[in-house]
Amino acid sequence: MTTTTDPYHSRDVDRWSFGPREDPVVWGQHQGPLSADEVASFERDGFLIQRALFSPEEVSGLLAAAHATAAEDHGEARILEPDSEAVRSVFRVHRASETFAALAADERLAGVARQLLADDVYVHQSRINFKPGFQGRAFSWHSDFETWHIEDGMPRMRAVSAAIALTDNVPVNGPLLLVPGSHRRYVRCVGETPDEHYKQSLRDQRYGVPDDEALSQLIADGGVTQALGPPGTVVFFDCNTMHGSAGNPTPYPRHNVFFVFNSVDNALVAPFGGRSPRPDFIAERDPLPIA
């Protein structure tokens, strides 16, 4: 179990609580693709939505690569929906596909991460999240950092995610939901992590999810923003921003590719929850900087 000497301890308490964020959101003055106003918006809200960052031609190639990747055998890294054979996610796509390796290194993504984190970065995690029409299920509300800290051993809040829309993200097909300002408070969750929790959590997360009361307080303070936009839209969000998404009851697919960029100075150590590390396809333990 964790101890209270860890500022981000979690899952070792009988009742949820808020803890303070002890790390910056923007780590310093660093040149990059974002304007000063965009950096300030990210620091305030915990996310930034940039529409049409990638062209329709680029997205068409990415979507074709995503479908090809989903059809391949990736072993444990290919995750199915909890109640069907539909593909929910494919992990570590930056190592499985030259297309997604090049995308991870694109200055429009990696350059933003270097700018916000003021350091060289590496890909901590990559994945395609598929939410096919009628079959795509919800992703529970969560802070990524809570899981990455407890189950993977990420020491500090010095990581940022980029979600690239490969299809239209509209209100009815289960878009990403974010709580503005939630990145400034850390939610300590209840429940001891089971062994090999990832085998369940990647399909339907049960541990490391915030209590309804905690969510209600965060949403009362910040509201909820839908990350909407056409293909090519990118959402950058802080590792501690509370987010989730509903299922997709429509025929309109919602497919996104995600890259998590972590500072090379924030490389993983032993998990703070006292369990064995999750597999490398979920949490990269070789902090090789993106050139």
Residue 277 domain-assigned?
A: no
Rounded mean pLDDT, 267-283:
94
Q: Kindly state whether residue 54 falls inside one of the protein's structural domains.
A: yes
Greatest mean pLDDT range, 76-80, 139-143, 169-173: 169-173
* pLDDT band for position 138 (cuts 50, 70, 90): confident
pLDDT at position 139: 79
Residue 111 token pair: 């350059």
Q: What pLDDT is recorded for position 198?
A: 58
The whole-number pLDDT of residue 205 equals: 57
Tens-digit pLDDT profile for residues 15-49: 999 999 999 999 998 899 999 999 999 999 999 99
CATH of the domain at 47: 2.60.120.620
pTM for the model? 0.93
Local confidence band at 152 (pLDDT 50, 70, 90 cut-offs): very high
Q: Is the pLDDT of residue 163 over 90?
A: yes
Is residue 10 situated within a structural domain?
Answer: no
Is the pLDDT higher at 168 or at 135?
A: 168
> Given this model, what pLDDT does residue 3 score?
47
Residues 95 and 101 sit within 8 Å (Cβ to Cβ):
yes
Residue 280 resides in a domain: no
d(CA 273, CA 290): 29
Burial code (b: 16+ CB inside 10 Å, e: under 16) for 129-139 equals bbbbeebbbeb
| Distance, CA of 12 to CA of 7 (rounded, Å) | 13
What is the extent of the structural domain holding 123?
17-266
Closest CA to 167 of 62, 276, 20: 62
**Looking at residues 182-209, what average pLDDT do you find?**
73
Any domain includes 259: yes
The pair of structure tokens assigned to 238 is 């802080």
Q: Tokens standing for 64? A: 């074709």
Report the distance separating Cα 24 and Cα 54, nearest Å. 29
The pair of structure tokens assigned to 139 is 């992703």
What gap in Å lies between CA 42 and CA 32, rounded to an integer? 14
274 found inside a domain: no
> 253 or 135: whose pLDDT is higher?
253
Model confidence at 134, pLDDT cuts 50, 70, 90, reads: confident
Paired tokens of 205? 């997360």
Instruction: Pick 193 or 286 by higher pLDDT.
Output: 286
Model confidence at 5, in pLDDT bands (50, 70, 90)?
confident
Give backbone dihedrals phi and psi of 55, rounded to 5 degrees, phi first: -75, 160
Tally the domains of the chain. 1
Residue 32, exposed/middle/buried by CB under 10 A (0-12, 13-18, 19+)? middle
Residue 267 pLDDT more than 70? yes
Residues in the chain: 291
Query: Residue 207 pLDDT more than 60?
Result: no
Contact predicate 281/76, CB 8 Å: yes
**pLDDT confidence of residue 1:** 43
In a domain, 70, yes or no: yes
Reported as a pLDDT band with limits 50, 70 and 90, residue 86 is confident
**CB of 255 closer than 8 Å to CB of 63:** yes
**pLDDT per residue as tens digits for the range 211-252:** 999 999 999 999 999 999 999 999 999 999 999 999 999 999
**Residue 87 pLDDT exceeds 60:** yes
In a domain, 271, yes or no: no
Ordered alpha helix ranges (H), the chain: 36-45, 56-70, 93-96, 98-104, 107-117, 144-147, 198-201, 212-222
Q: Check residue 2 and give its pLDDT.
A: 42
